[in-house]
Amino acid sequence: MNDLIFQSKLQTTAAHLGVPLTVARDASPALQPGASCSRVLIDLNLSAGDPLAIVRTVRAAHPTVPVIGYCSHVQQELRHHALEAGCTAVLPRSAFVQQLSELLSP
């Protein structure tokens, strides 16, 4: 995640809901032995690493876990590639923010 203000919003919302949240720049937390996750939220505009490779890696490790990507509403090609890589859904960033509580709720 590149945007620290946005990351803070995610962490604040998760804390308000009492939902554990791990922020990572790669798929390694999801690949730890015994790792479990109820959903994965990924910024498809990560500057470090390859977000589509992260989606594929997480999808392979956790085939039934929802993987929700978000990006700019004008990035239709990225949206298409993210869905092909294994995202369950790809939301415009504005919709992601509006639905954040719902997306994080258990």
Q: How many CA atoms lie within 13 A of 32 on its CB side?
A: 10
The C-alpha atoms of residue 56 and residue 47 are separated, in whole angstroms, by: 17
Q: How many residues in total does the chain contain?
A: 106
Query: Which CATH code of 3.90.1150.10, 3.40.50.2300, 3.20.20.80, 3.30.420.40 fits the domain covering 4-24+36-104?
Result: 3.40.50.2300
What is the average pLDDT score of the chain? 88
The string of pLDDT tens digits covering residues 26-49 is 788 777 777 788 889 999 998 777
The string of pLDDT tens digits covering residues 51-97 is 999 999 999 988 999 999 999 999 999 999 999 999 999 999 999 99
pLDDT at 1: 47
What confidence category does residue 2 fall into, taking pLDDT thresholds of 50, 70 and 90?
Answer: low
